[in-house]
Amino acid sequence: MACESCSTGKDGQPKGCKSNGTCGTDSCNKLTVFDWLANMSLPNGEAPFNWIEVRFKNGRKEYYKNTENLTLSIGDIVATQAANGHDIGMVTLTGELVRVQMKRKKISQDGEILKIYRKASQRDIDIWSEARDKEEPMKVRARQFAIDLKLHMKISDIEYQGDASKATFYYTAEERVDFRELIKVFAREFRTRIEMKQVGFRQEASRLGGIGSCGRELCCSTWLTDFRSVSTSAARYQQLSLNPQKLAGQCGKLKCCLNYELDTYLDALKEFPKTEVKLKTQKGTAVCQKTDIFKGHMWYAYEGEWMNWHKITIEQAKEIIELNKKNEAVGSLEEYAVDLLEDTKVEFENVVGQDSLTRFDQPKKSKRRRTTKNIKNTKGDAGDNSKGNTVVAKPTVKRPVRRKSANPNQNSNTKTKQTPNAKPKQNPNAKTADGEAKPKPNRNNRNRNKRKPQNKPNSQNPNPNAKPNPNAKAKPNPNPKPNPNTNAKK
C-alpha cells in the first residue's frame, strides 16, 4: 500500500490527510505504535530518551540518535544520516516507548550510531518528492530489462534515497541469480547508483501490502513485524483441510494467522487421548475418525463398518482405554453413545400465537366421496383456450358395475310390504301383446346425449343387450303360433 494520497506536497504539507501522517487512511498508520506516554512527565525530572524512530517507504523503520537535541514530534520530516549522503523520513515515535521498541527488536545502543541531521528543508522535500515520482515508471522498465536478459527474478519494488543519489531494487527469486549484467544496464539507463537487495516472499507482501482472504489488510503490512515459520502441522492440530489454495496467503506461503490460535488448540488437545489408540470391544475394534476439540467429543467406527460413527466423550474414551489396559473389553460403543443422542426434532410451536398443530400442518381428508364419472368442464373443452387459460381434461375413472338380479323387485334379503292403494310395479321384462319385449327406460338423464342409442329388440332377437347383425337374414318361424284375435275360418 503506497502512501501516495498522504505524501508530502511541494509546500511541505501532506497532500491527502493534512494531519502530518497521523491519519487512518491508506498507509499513514502502517506499523505505527500508539504513544500512550506522550502526556506523562518522567519522574524525578529525568531527561527524555534521545532516540527517535523514523519510518521510510513501505513501513521500513530505523532508529536514530538525536544528538542535536532537536525538538521533534510525531509527523515531522527529518534528514537522517545514510551511508552516502542523507535520507528523508518521517518521525513516528519519540520518548520512552522508543526504548521499549529497541529492546523488543534487540537493537543495541552501543553499536553503529546513526544521527539525525536536521529537520527537512523545502529543498530537501522537493528533491525527495521528485525521486518518489520516478519510482513507478522505473520499475516497469527495470522488469522489462530483466525479461530481456532472461533472468528468473521479479523486481517487486524500488526505493530512492532521500537525496536521489541511490536507488535500491528489491527483488525475489527462487534460485541464485547472476545480475551483474543487469546492474550495468540499470546504471547506464537510470544514471544513478544501483543497489540490489533480495527479500523473501513474505517481506515482499509486507512491502507491497494487499487485502487478505479475511477482507482486511495483510497482517504483515499493518502490524506484524517478525515472521515466524508456519508448518502444515499447525493446520493438522486445528483440523483444517490441507488445501494449499485455502491455507496459502498472497505471498504463496502458509498464512501467518495459522499460528495465532495454535497454542489454544495445543492446550485443549492435552486432555484428549491419542487418536492412534484403538478401542477394543466385544463387538469389534473401534478406530478414531474425528474429534471435536472444544465440545470434547470423539467419533469412533468399527473396523469394517466405516460408515457408522459413534460419538462418545473424552471421559468415556479414557474409561474404555483403562479397561483395555486391564485386558477387559466393554460390550459395545452403543452403550456409551446412547447418552449423547441428539434430538433433531424441530419444533415450530406457537409461532404466530396459534396451537402447535395448525390447519397448515396436515391436510384434512374430505368425507365426501369424489366421483370422477361424467366430469364436465364448465370452461369448455380440453382444447378450448379462448381466454388464454390452459384447460386440462381430467381422466375419468370407471367404477365397477354392480350386477342386479333378474327381478329387481324381489330380493332375498328384503321383504316388500304391500299396501292396499299401491299400484303394481311394472315388470321391465314383461312382453307386449305382440310378443315383443319393452325397451328399458333410460334413467340416466344426465348422460342422455352422450349415451349411444339402443336398438329395439324384436321377436327374433329377444335379448335387449345383444347387438344386431346387419348382414344376418331373418329366418322364418317354423312353428308359428295362431293369433287368437283372427277368425278361425277364412
Q: Cα dist. 164→82, 128, 190, 448 in Å?
A: 12, 7, 11, 110
Q: CATH second-level architecture of 128-208?
A: 2-Layer Sandwich (3.30)
Bigger pLDDT: 360 vs 121: 121
Domain boundaries, the chain: 43-120, 128-208, 228-268, 273-340
Residue 162, judged by CB atoms within 10 A of its CB (0-12, 13-18, 19+), counts as buried
The model's pLDDT over 445-461, given as tens digits with 9 standing for 90+, comes to 555 555 555 554 444 44
Mean pLDDT on 456-469: 51
Question: How much is the pLDDT for 343?
Answer: 47
Q: Do the Cβ atoms of 53 and 61 come closer than 8 Å? A: yes
State the average pLDDT over residues 87-94: 91
pLDDT at 385: 45
pLDDT on residue 64: 93
Do 16 and 38 contact (CB within 8 A), yes or no? Answer: no
| Closest among 113, 126, 133 to 57, alpha carbons compared | 133
The 10s digit of each residue's pLDDT in 423-446 is: 555 555 555 545 555 555 555 555
SS (H, E, C) the chain: CCCCCCCECCCCCECCCCCCCCCCCCCCCCCCCCCCCCCCCCHHHCCCCCEEEEECHHHCEEEEECCCCCCCCCCCEEEEECCCCEEEEEEEECCHHHHHHHHHCCCCCCCCCCEEEEECCHHHHHHHHHHHHHHHHHHHHHHHHHHHCCCCCEEEEEEECCCCCEEEEEEECCCCCCCHHHHHHHHHHHCCEEEEEECCHHHHHHHHCCECCCCCECHHHHCCCCCCCCCHHHHHHCCCCCCHHHHECCCCCECHHHHCCHHHHHHHHCCCCCCCCCEEECCCEEEEEEEECCCCEEEEEECCCCCCEEEEEHHHHHHHHHHHHCCCCECCCHHHHHHHCCCCCCCCCCCCCCCCCCCCCCCCCCCCCCCCCCCCCCCCCCCCCCCCCCCCCCCCCCCCCCCCCCCCCCCCCCCCCCCCCCCCCCCCCCECCCCCECCCCCCCCCCCCCCCCCCCCCCCCCCCCCCCCCCCCCCCCCCCCCCCCCCCCC
pLDDT tens string 244-278: 888 999 888 999 999 999 999 999 998 899 888 99
Cα dist from 393 to 269, 372, 381, 382, whole Å: 68, 12, 8, 5
Q: Which three cell numbers stand for residue 322?
A: 483403562
* Residue 88 confidence (pLDDT): 93
* Rounded average pLDDT over 288-299: 89
Task: List pLDDT tens digits, range 189-246.
Answer: 999 999 999 999 998 998 888 899 889 889 988 888 888 889 999 998 998 888 888 8
Confidence at residue 32, expressed as pLDDT on a 0 to 100 scale: 73
Per-residue pLDDT at 386 exceeds 50 = no
Give the pLDDT confidence of 325-344 residue by residue, as tens digits.
Answer: 888 888 888 888 766 655 44
Mean pLDDT of 27-35: 67
Give me the phi and psi of 245, to 5 degrees please.
Answer: -70, -30
Contacts of 125 (CB under 8 A, 6+ apart): 8, 10, 12, 77, 88
Q: How confident is the model at residue 129 (pLDDT cuts 50, 70, 90)?
A: very high
